[in-house]
Amino acid sequence: MDFDPERLKEELITAYDSAEDGLPDEVFKYITTITPMINVDLLVRDDEKGILLAWRNDYRGSGWHIPGGIIRYREPASERIIKTAEKELGAKVTFDRDPIKLTEIFVPQRIRGHFVSLLYNCRLMDGYDPMSFNGNKQPNDDGYLRWFTECPDEIVYGQREAYVEYLKETMKKS
């Protein structure tokens, strides 16, 4: 059977009416295997506590990472920052309008292997303690949050190459 991209496009449009409504997870995951993703990463800092990182333990690997999320079709980066903060930190954040770093990340895996990452400087709202978001999570549970004043060794692949030197420099200045 010959591949017909127009037929595939029409089938997707017919099945899902509009990408603006969002795609089912399985379709979205497939699309992320064949196209670069643009994501926002949230660099949350506290002058006394350091930088807030989350533990990741999923099919893409395990280790500490800067919380982030993939921008959806027609979604402003600012909206994805807000949604990511709520989902991954259980918090509201304020953030600088412009990213502080733009990085292209290539990960040698079939699922989500190419990213254009926009790193944003973020601040937690006054009085919020992200440790309350941990609840009963243990340090190696997916989503566990921790403050760091020095860059940990176990940064997830992709972010390790993109951010470790930046994190080390940033933490030295704090």
Q: What is the pLDDT of residue 110?
A: 63
Work out the percent of the chain whose per-residue pLDDT is above 70. Answer: 93
Q: Is the dihedral of CA 30, 35, 36, 38 positive or negative?
A: negative
Residue 174 has pLDDT above 90, yes or no: no
pLDDT in tens, 26-62: 777 778 788 899 999 999 999 889 999 999 987 777 9
Q: What is the pLDDT of residue 165?
A: 95
Other CB atoms within 10 Å distance of the CB of residue 82: 16
Residue 126 has pLDDT above 70, yes or no: yes
Residue 105 has pLDDT above 90, yes or no: no
Sequence-ordered list of residues with C-beta below 8 angstroms from that of 42, at least 6 positions apart, any chain: 66, 67, 68, 81, 84, 85, 88, 89, 93, 95, 120, 122
Q: What is the pLDDT of residue 18?
A: 65
Mean pLDDT of 106-133: 86
Other CB atoms within 10 Å distance of the CB of residue 8: 10
Q: What is the pLDDT of residue 135?
A: 92
Q: Are 156 and 64 in contact (CB under 8 A)?
A: yes
Mean pLDDT of 104-133: 86
Average pLDDT, the chain: 88
Mean pLDDT of 155-165: 91
Start-to-end CA distance of the chain, whole Å, equals: 60
pLDDT in tens, 64-98: 999 999 998 889 999 999 999 999 999 999 999 99
Q: Are 37 and 105 in contact (CB under 8 A)?
A: no
Domains of the chain: 1-31 (no CATH), 35-173 (3.90.79.10)
Q: Are 56 and 146 in contact (CB under 8 A)?
A: no
Residue 155 has pLDDT above 90, yes or no: yes
